[in-house]
Chain A
């Protein structure tokens, strides 16, 4: 157990809908990163939040957006869902921005878009 939790665990949506995924970071961690993992692929970096500000974004369209709250928990919002958004969404928390700080991943939210 890493102390990082994600909700919900599974979700089914239809194309065009909107979805919000949630991540509670490990106690004391101020950095949350979100990744998308398609079936059979490695995770792809979506964006990162550090102390409530976006701190870097991968190659994802603006319909992917996020928030980080004062308690450092985070949300990932996806608007206008497309079939290709079906994936496992992972969040990872860490203390700070150093690459040598261990990242702790949550169990993920599996999203299916029909």
Chain B
């Protein structure tokens, strides 16, 4: 079963704009991760945020985590056509470290 839900399901923006995706999850976690997937191929790890962190940056990526609301957001600033992909949040299954529940994903299209 899916642990997380991403919102929106699909997002279309112009190059240079910012893209924000949200993820909600169901159980308590010790970390949350975001992944990117191009054209139904393998997933690429983007960023990990621990449960005691509220915000984390990596290049043009900014992730926030609100454990009280069981939600996270991924912001991509100054988007590029190459950012076109599906984005998934992932949370560890109960009592495991790296066995993950993935959300349903947000499909991002960046128009040149």
Q: Which residues of A contact B (CB under 8 A)?
A: 2, 4, 31, 33, 35, 37, 39, 41-45, 48, 56, 58-59, 88, 90, 92, 94, 96-108, 110
The one of A44, A97, A98 in contact with B102, judged by C-beta atoms closer than 8 angstroms, is A44
Is there contact, CB below 8 Å, between A33 and B44? no
Binding-face segment, B54-62, B75-83, B90-98: B90-98
Q: Look across to chain A and name the residue whose beta carbon is closest to the beta carbon of B5.
A: A42
* Residues on the A chain within 8 Å of B100, using CB: 33, 43, 45, 103
With contact pairs A56-B93, A94-B98, A99-B92 given, residues A107 and B103 touching in the complex (Cβ less than 8 Å): no
Q: List 24 A-B contacts (CB under 8 A).
A: A31-B98, A33-B98, A33-B100, A35-B102, A41-B104, A42-B2, A42-B102, A43-B102, A45-B93, A48-B99, A58-B93, A94-B98, A96-B97, A97-B97, A98-B97, A98-B98, A99-B98, A100-B50, A103-B100, A105-B42, A105-B43, A105-B44, A108-B40, A110-B40
**Which 7 pairs from chain A and chain B are nearest by CB?**
A42-B102, A99-B97, A105-B42, A105-B43, A107-B42, A97-B97, A43-B102
With contact pairs A31-B98, A42-B104, A45-B100 given, residues A99 and B43 touching in the complex (Cβ less than 8 Å): no
Is there contact, CB below 8 Å, between A100 and B42? no
**Chain B interface extent, by class:** 20 to 34
* Residues on the A chain within 8 Å of B93, using CB: 45, 56, 58
The one of A43, A97, A105, A110 in contact with B98, judged by C-beta atoms closer than 8 angstroms, is A97
Q: Look across to chain B and name the residue whose beta carbon is closest to the beta carbon of A46.
A: B99
The one of A43, A44, A100, A108 in contact with B41, judged by C-beta atoms closer than 8 angstroms, is A108
* Residues on the A chain within 8 Å of B35, using CB: 105
Please give the distance in Å from A43's CB to the nearest CB on chain B.
Answer: 5
Judge if B48 is at the interface, Cβ distance under 8 Å: yes
Choose among B45, B93, B98 the residue with the greatest number of A CB atoms under 10 Å from its CB.
Answer: B98
